[in-house]
Amino acid sequence: MIEVANVSIRYGRGIDAVDAVEDVSFRVENGGSLAFIGPSGCGKTTLLFGIAGLLAPIEGEILVDGTPVTGTRREIALILQNAGLLPWKTVWQNANLSLMLRHEYPQRTAETVLRDLRLLDVRGRFPAELSEGMKRRVGIARALSMSPSVMLMDEPLASLDTLTRERIQDLFLTLWKEHRFSLVLVTHDIEEAAFLGETIAVLSERPAQIKEIVDNPGMGDVDYRTTAAFRETLGRLREVLER
């Protein structure tokens, strides 16, 4: 479970200090999913990095499974905007990065994950040789290789074409249902938020504050995009964003 209580995060010091997140509180149950949506540069990524243990809040507390987050943790996986792949490492090395950095061998989990994501055949290739969709799948493989209980995603499908984006959204949904990790997604795409978020938190301009939390009980099915409930959620999100 993720519990964020009255968290504020500030960048820099003195006159250069920027308040990125202010007094944000929310909770994601085990196996739940929460999508953050808000204007560009509002502090969404900062908030996510706070949960990942990459940034320390100046106020408030972040707990994952009841323990305060004071640094990166094995059970918290983060998928970055462009998958965060290292160009000088092969698909296999990138997928195994978290395990390798923690000196965890053998890496059978990564092999299974690569097979499931249909990447085993390209394990010897470098990221530059892959399509954008494949790169994102390698990023997912890296995150899944640690069998995390919390999956954080920072605009993981930005700059992908519509069809690839929807295909990978379907994959995220399947994996989320299969692995039952708690999912926190940051996106500026309303449809992505509505498709993957059980609840959707709409953030204000910087410093990020939660304007409203929209429930999205209908999500969880690949066909959800074609339903009236999906369109209704989209309308509701637009309304809150424009307010």
Partner 1 sequence: MNGRQEASETQPRGSRLWRGLRHPFTRRVLTYLVSIIVLLALWQLTSGVVHAIKGRALLPGPFQAFSELIRSIAEIQHHFWVSAGRLVLAMLIALGLGYPLGLLVGHERRLDQFVSPMIYITYPIPQVAFILFLFLVFGIGNAVKVAIVAVALFFQLLVSARGAAKNISQEYITSVLSAGATRRQVYWHVLLPATLPDILTSLRVSVGLGMAFLYIAETSAALGSGLGRFVKGSMYRPALASAGIVAMAALGLLLYLLIDVLERLACRWKYTQQRPR
Rounded Cα gap, residues 83 and 55, in angstroms: 19
Among 5, 82, 171, 204, binds partner 1 (CB under 8 A): 82
Among 85, 110, 114, 138, binds partner 1 (CB under 8 A): 85
Cβ proximity to partner 1: between 53 and 220 the closer is 53
129 binds partner 1 (CB under 8 A): yes
Task: Give the DSSP letter of residue 65.
Answer: T
Matching residue, tokens 């920072």 = 154
Among 59, 67, 74, 239, binds partner 1 (CB under 8 A): 74
Phi, psi at residue 64, to the nearest 5°?
A: -125, 125
Among 9, 34, 97, 175, binds partner 1 (CB under 8 A): 97
Q: Which positions ≥6 away from 34 have C-beta within 8 Å?
A: 26, 28, 183, 184, 185, 197, 198, 199, 200, 201
What's the Cα-to-Cα distance from 232 to each of 38, 195, 241, rounded to whole Å?
Answer: 18, 12, 14
209 binds partner 1 (CB under 8 A): no
Rounded Cα gap, residues 18 and 163, in angstroms: 37
Cβ proximity to partner 1: between 127 and 207 the closer is 127
Please report how close the Cβ of residue 87 comes to partner 1 at its closest, in angstroms.
6
Cβ proximity to partner 1: between 89 and 225 the closer is 89
Q: Is 96 left (phi over 0), alpha (psi -120 to 50) or beta?
A: alpha
72 binds partner 1 (CB under 8 A): yes
Size of the site for partner 1 (CB under 8 A): 28
Among 13, 40, 101, 228, binds partner 1 (CB under 8 A): 101
Rounded Cα gap, residues 68 and 61, in angstroms: 7
Sites of contact with partner 1 (CB under 8 A): 49, 52, 54, 72, 74, 77-78, 80-82, 84-89, 97-98, 101-102, 125-126, 128-132, 142
